[in-house]
């Protein structure tokens, strides 16, 4: 989608469709007031008649306006004036995006920067407009014919000259983050027979070719074996697809220590010998959403040219049953030298992550943040609203929580107390790979923490937030916006 800033006066504006805000109790935004006067009280009459009340997320499409400059008008409700929060603003944008998509226009103008939102500036408003309307225009088309493609190809942000710098900042951030979210979703929505570990590695190489400061190295199985990554390699033994360790390096911050992002890249997870139930197993193509998110975040960061050093590590594999696959009771020796008893082969994410987290030490990281569709237990604990946050450093976790608030991509911090380590004790190895039915998301994080003791680390469990189920099944692109905001914050402090 093309994006631009429209600074023409309202009376000279030419638009296929203009979006403006209204509030409850017949209160109009400044732009809506000007249009109401221009159209002889049309908007006020529609509100008086009850066609739209201004509640958050209400929309009304007006066709056949009195003059031809603006062909259509979409009124968007933002609730009572002065009470609009950031989450409600995004809710209204989502509704407006659906209404706009239904109009079939190819270009639209958005005059919503005069809507007051608590704790939000012009740059933030602009960024959210771009992110939300791009997201509403997303369609999966890799393996499906689209009979009714989205028509919208261009979006203009209506802004005065005084706001231009802030709008440009928000526009650039929004375009970059929206691109990262879309990249993540397109990869995640692919079926497992297309998005294999090798395909994911190929996409990382293509991404590295987009920016001269981004490089990519792919470690093959023989290289991982030489490094002692027996835990990671054990997961791929049941698959005909070779495992890959994707290593991306972005040098934008001089000699600064890098922020290392690690993403679980299980391109399909059948559970291995501990086979998952058949119902819903198709959704296990989404077990690589952590890896897809790392690629999306790096696309966003490079397009914003953030002055940071970043490393992206994606262990990519399949987990399938086979005569050579992991068996319950097998003992593995991780790259860190710790032995692991595999009590359940479906707890494989922590096996590929533990060796990758050990490998991350060689970068002398400032921080390491991993993201993974790790545990169904996280969905039981938190549902599908927040992602679970775990970490060994309060400052890092607080920074991530602050970024989640700004990005409207919620996190909830969970404990990793030493008490839970008791559940990971094994009679035959240093660690068991599961800790029983209680506190499953926590014991998984505690397991990972045993491999992150030498640096500041956070773990984000996105099992409940990386994709939607049911009628609207599909990837969400989370937590690309959250981690992009975290990186923006680091670049500006």
> Which residues are tagged catalytic?
276, 350
Cα-based distances in Å from 143 to 112, 150, 415, 467, 475: 36, 17, 42, 18, 15
Question: What is the rounded CA–CA span in Å between residue 395 and residue 417?
Answer: 17
- C-beta atoms surrounding 242 within 10 Å: 18
**Of 243, 241, 199, the residue nearest 221 (C-alpha):** 243
Question: What is the rounded CA–CA span in Å between residue 428 and residue 302?
Answer: 46
Write the DSSP symbol of residue 162: G
**Of 380, 396, 378, the residue nearest 388 (C-alpha):** 378
In contact, 265 and 290? CB cutoff 8 Å? yes
Structure tokens at 289: 């959403």
Output the CA angle 110-176-2, nearest 5 degrees.
Answer: 45
Question: What is the rounded CA–CA span in Å between residue 489 and residue 487?
Answer: 5
* Exposure b/e, 80-89, CB count within 10 A at least 16 = b: ebeebebebb
| Strand-pair partners of 332 | 340
**Of 387, 370, 216, the residue nearest 302 (C-alpha):** 216
**Of 490, 209, 243, the residue nearest 369 (C-alpha):** 490
Largest CA distance in the chain: 82
Element (H, E) at 272: none
Question: What is the rounded CA–CA span in Å between residue 26 and residue 42?
Answer: 12
Among left, alpha and beta (phi > 0; psi -120 to 50; other), residue 450 is alpha
Question: What is the rounded CA–CA span in Å between residue 475 and residue 468?
Answer: 6
Residues whose CB falls within 8 Å of the CB of residue 440, separated by 6 or more in sequence, listed in order: 375, 376, 377, 378, 380, 434
Write the DSSP symbol of residue 418: G
């Amino acid at each position: 989608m093309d994006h631009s800033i429209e600074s023409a006066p309202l009376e000279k504006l030419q638009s296929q469709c203009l979006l403006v805000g209204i509030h409850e109790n017949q209160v109009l935004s400044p732009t809506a007031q000007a249009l109401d006067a221009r159209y002889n009280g049309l908007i006020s009459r529609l509100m008086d008649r009850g066609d739209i009340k201004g509640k958050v997320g209400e929309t009304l499409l007006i066709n056949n306006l009195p003059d031809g400059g603006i062909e259509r008008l979409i009124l968007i409700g933002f609730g009572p004036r002065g009470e609009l929060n950031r989450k409600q603003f995004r809710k209204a944008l989502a509704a407006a995006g659906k209404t706009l998509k239904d109009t079939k226009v190819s270009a639209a103008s958005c005059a919503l920067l005069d809507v007051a939102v608590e704790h939000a500036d012009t740059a933030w408003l602009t960024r959210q407009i771009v992110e939300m309307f791009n997201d509403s225009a997303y369609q999966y088309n890799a393996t499906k014919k689209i009979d009714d493609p989205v028509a919208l190809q261009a979006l203009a942000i209506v802004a005065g000259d005084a706001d231009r710098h802030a709008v440009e900042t928000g526009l650039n951030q929004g375009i970059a983050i929206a691109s990262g979210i879309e990249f993540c979703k397109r990869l995640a929505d692919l079926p497992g027979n297309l998005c294999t570990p090798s395909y994911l590695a190929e996409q990382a190489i293509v991404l590295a070719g987009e920016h001269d400061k981004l490089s990519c190295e792919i470690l093959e199985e023989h290289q991982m074996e030489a490094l002692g990554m027996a835990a990671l390699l054990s997961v791929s033994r049941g698959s005909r697809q070779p495992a890959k360790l994707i290593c991306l390096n972005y040098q934008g911050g001089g000699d600064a220590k890098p922020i290392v992002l690690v993403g679980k890249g299980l391109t399909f997870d059948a559970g291995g010998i501990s086979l998952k139930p058949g119902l819903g197993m198709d959704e296990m193509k989404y077990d690589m959403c952590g890896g897809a998110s790392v690629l999306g975040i790096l696309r966003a960061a490079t397009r914003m040219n953030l002055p940071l050093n970043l490393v992206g590590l994606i262990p990519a594999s399949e987990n399938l049953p086979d005569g050579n696959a992991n068996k319950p009771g097998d003992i593995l020796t991780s790259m860190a030298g710790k032995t692991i008893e595999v009590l359940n082969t479906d707890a494989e994410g922590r096996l590929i992550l533990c060796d990758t987290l050990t490998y991350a030490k060689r970068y002398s990281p400032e921080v390491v943040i991993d993201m993974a569709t790790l545990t169904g237990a996280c969905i039981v604990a938190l549902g599908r609203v927040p992602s679970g946050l775990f970490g060994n450093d309060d400052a890092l976790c607080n920074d991530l929580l602050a970024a989640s608030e700004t990005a409207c991509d919620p996190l909830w911090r969970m404990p990793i107390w030493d008490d839970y380590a008791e559940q990971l004790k094994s009679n035959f190895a240093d660690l068991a790979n599961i800790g029983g039915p209680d506190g499953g998301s926590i014991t998984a994080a505690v397991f990972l923490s045993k491999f992150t003791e030498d640096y500041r680390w956070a773990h984000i469990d996105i099992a409940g937030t990386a994709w939607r189920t049911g009628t609207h099944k599909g990837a969400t692109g989370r937590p690309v916006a959250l981690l992009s905001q975290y990186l923006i914050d680091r670049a500006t402090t």
